[in-house]
Amino acid sequence: MNDVDSYRFPSDFFWGAATAAYQIEGAAGEDGRRPSVWDTFCRIPGKVFSEHDGSVACDHYHLFPQDIELMKSLDIRHYRLSIAWPRVIPDGDGSVNRKGLDFYDRLIDALLDAGITPYVTLYHWDLPQALEDKGGWRSRRTALAFDRYARTVVQRLGSRVKNWFTVNEIVCFTKLAYELGVHAPGVKEPPKIVNQIVHHALLAHGLAVRAVREFAQPGSLVGLVANPSVGVPAIERPDHIAASRLFWDRENAQCLAPVFLKAYPDWWLAEQGPDAPITEPGDLDIIASPTDFLGLNIYSGTFVQPREDSEGYTPLPLSAQYPKADLAWLNVMPQALYWGIRHAVEAYGVESVYVTENGAAYADRLLPDDTILDLDRREYLRNYLIQVQRAVAEGFPVKGYFAWSLMDNFEWAEGYSKRFGIVYTDFLTQRRIPKLSARWYSEVIRQNRVV
């Protein structure tokens, strides 16, 4: 078999691109939308780069028709988007905003008319500020409000949307937000409260799964999107592989074991002691509601090797010259994508995997001839896709891949200073300019192989 054949994907493998509502929509005060925790967080001095915010972002709220045409021109026929909770139910648990739902009606209809399949994420971090004022994810009330919101959205869009993601990256909107304080709402709570917050987020996921089962059209699919910590064996031999699996099991136990194993691990509960979350009867049954796939957002990983003690592994430090993208945390480690897929399948018996986010930020430069030669991003994506293809070739059930992101956008605490898009966004003029990586990715899609 030659290299061209070895990099080919199955005929039913799908290729897409992903975005999130707060990062691209803008129109933060239009048509009944009220503030989210990110609108508030962006106004706190020092929290977001240069106090940037998502009030305009990519103005996708008004420009979505041209963004759909852009996807068509790049052969992107699968699109992962998110719904803005504060646009649909502005107070979180109050009245439904008809104009908000009308926008998503127009968006979904336009995607379908263009031959693009929508994959809808119900929650990508934009909690209504009104709910945060009542306790936010600290309160079980928020999970119950999310249940109502999910049912509202699925009832409205479920006759046309067949693919659903419940919540995106629990770690980010719980631990980064309520423990480390680097994401909205930007507070630092003690471990017991943080553990309860994670439990409420897991409960919200399970309730959303049930909403899809009840209200979406028959045959609809639903799953969680996780951003697991991935251990990569420093040497691919049995003892290092076993160490990388131990790393996976330990690092991801709190957010994934309840979903797939219907329990918090005994060792984790023992470690937490009095800080363990309070669970009500039936909670774990809801959290473990059967799903159809696991979405994996993987950008980097951690090399590990075995250690002769109860821990069983040692994370390895990276040298100063180890390759990085344009973010301190984004170490270029393509093998993490293969091992993330493999660990998920072997640890939990996951029967279907989607790579829901993968990409890199680089300091793109717009040249005088209106081109962006982002060869660094192209090489990043190419090397990661080779690892996806390896997983597929070895029989792991990877069904599709979404590049992050379709376009440069509001990159959370980094504001507009970091660019992840395969399409360049001029935030002053709202011009969209496909980068070299976009043209390359279009050819990958066209040939259904890594080129």
Active site residues: 169, 357
The CA distance from 211 to 218, in Å, is 13
- Taking residue 224's Cβ as centre, other Cβ atoms within 10 Å add up to 26
Distance from CA of residue 196 to its chain's centroid? 22
Q: From residue 86, how far is each of 22, 25, 153, 275, 437 by CA, in Å?
A: 10, 12, 12, 31, 33
Q: From residue 265, how far is each of 75, 87, 169, 331 by CA, in Å?
A: 44, 37, 20, 30
CB-based contacts of 163, cutoff 8 Å, min separation 6: 117, 118, 119, 120, 220, 221, 222
| CA-CA-CA-CA dihedral for 13, 15, 20, 21, to nearest 10 | -100
The CA distance from 370 to 313, in Å, is 49
- Taking residue 133's Cβ as centre, other Cβ atoms within 10 Å add up to 13
Cross-strand partners of 450: none
The CA distance from 425 to 149, in Å, is 31
Q: How far apart are the first and last CA of the chain?
A: 16
The CA distance from 383 to 285, in Å, is 39
The CA distance from 67 to 87, in Å, is 20
Instruction: Please provide residue 425's backbone torsions phi and psi, each rounded to the nearest 5 degrees.
Output: -110, 125
Q: From residue 130, how far is each of 88, 91, 94 by CA, in Å?
A: 13, 5, 10
Pair of tokens at residue 74: 């790049």
DSSP reduced 3-state for 358: coil
